[in-house]
Amino acid sequence: MGMNTSKVMGDTTRKKRADIFKDIVDSLRNGSQTILQISKATDINWETVKNCLETLKTLSIIQEEEKNGKTFYFVDESKLIQTEENTLLGLPLTEDRKNATYGLFKRIIERWEKIRPDRKINKTFLHKILVKVVKNNDKDLKFPHGWYLFGECAVLQCDPMDCKEQPYQIGTEYDAKIDVVVTEYSQLSSTHELMQRQYTDEGNELYTLRLKISDKLLNKFTETSVHELKRSLKDFVFSFKKNEENEELLEYLNGFLSIVTRLINGLKLGELDDIRPVINETFMSIWELLATYNLYKSLVERGYYEKATIRKYYTLRMGNLKHIAESYLSALHDYCPPLLIPQEDPLRKLITPQAS
């Protein structure tokens, strides 16, 4: 049976994850508006606008006032969060940190070109090398880095070509360590292998399992791979350590596991493979939630940011990502087959209307 996945994969009304809050705030900077007016101006559905406004209110960015029996919302310009253009979550970076990171990026590229002139360095390799070079050797906290979507990376985002254009220099202080890491990592054939190496070296089971699950979801299902997927998802849930701050995220993760388990148990292999892209998109929306939490947690624990400072950026992004994940979970749930309850099961009496 062929299944229509266009409602998730081809929905052009879905905004980019980072754009929803920005569009709402930009619209309100033109003047106070009701939820309906914001929805029409931004082409974002009413419920999403409502939920986003609640998040923005908790950050004191948005205020509300009553006019003629209607609630209008407006921006408190003094509370707007200033975001950096080239950093994760738009986090602020001091000029010293920015210059130091650019300088080290640039030096890594120069050393790579000397050691491996036959192969160009890509962004993932650049970030992984920087992290390993400064690992446990960043006492001055000059190079902010943490765990995010594809493992550990620098807060400052920069492609190799852009880094080469930067005027910053860092000298030869790190050359010996850079050369060792470049020699080691340049032997790896792909970014996939590189990520596996980092996750294994750091003993990070959660990220190792994420990679394994993504591999299963990117390839045609077989009976064996579906069985392995189900087992890996259970291990993945168990590997995400619960605490007071991330308890809500575990609900999203458990919800995804529940839906996928129901799909696996209720659909034929071909039917399941038809919606594999939808399962993958839903998983990635959940993973972005978990990875954003991991970034927040690792940056605070390493002392790169005060908790109160990064919390604003984290809350703003997470509010957006939760809405996205909920929409994907809802769409994926629509593919679940109806629950079949035997005639003799007592539960049937509870869900079957009785004649009056």
DSSP 8-state assignment for residue 355: P
Q: Is the pLDDT of residue 297 over 70?
A: yes
Per-residue pLDDT at 5: 42
Encoding tokens for residue 108?
């890594």
The whole-angstrom separation of Cα 287 and Cα 291 is 6
Which parts of the chain fold into alpha helices (H)?
6-9, 20-28, 35-42, 46-58, 95-115, 123-134, 160-165, 175-185, 191-201, 205-217, 223-239, 247-266, 269-274, 276-301, 307-333, 347-351
Q: What average pLDDT does the segment 303-321 reach?
A: 90
Inter-axis angle of helices 20-28 and 307-333, to 10 degrees? Answer: 110
Domains, the chain, ordered by start: 6-79 (1.10.10.10), 83-203 (no CATH), 204-338 (no CATH)
Most confident of 12-26, 40-54, 118-132: 118-132
**pTM for the whole structure:** 0.82
Q: Six-digit token pair at 269?
A: 């292999």
The Cα–Cα gap between 295 and 87 comes to 12
Question: What digits encode the pLDDT tens for the residues 29-82?
Answer: 889 999 999 999 998 888 888 888 888 887 778 889 998 889 999 988 777 778
Q: What is the mean pLDDT of residues 247-268?
A: 95
The structure tokens listed for 58 are: 């908790």
Res. 16 pLDDT band, cuts 50 70 90? low
* Interstrand relation of 151-154 and 145-148 (parallel, antiparallel or unpaired): antiparallel
For the chain, give the longest Cα–Cα distance: 87
What would the pLDDT profile of 160-214 be if each residue is shown by its tens digit?
A: 998 888 888 888 999 999 999 999 999 999 999 999 999 999 999 999 999 999 9
Q: Is the pLDDT of residue 12 over 80?
A: no
Burial category of 177 from C-beta neighbours within 10 Å (exposed 0-12, middle 13-18, buried 19 and up): middle
pLDDT at 144 over 90: yes
> What letter would DSSP give residue 304?
S
List the beta bridge partners of residue 154.
145
- Which pLDDT tens digit goes with each residue over 223-240? 999 999 999 999 999 999
| CA trace torsion 49, 52, 54, 56 (10° rounding) | -130
Q: What was the pLDDT predicted at 77?
A: 78
Q: How far apart are CA 26 and CA 299, in angstroms?
A: 29
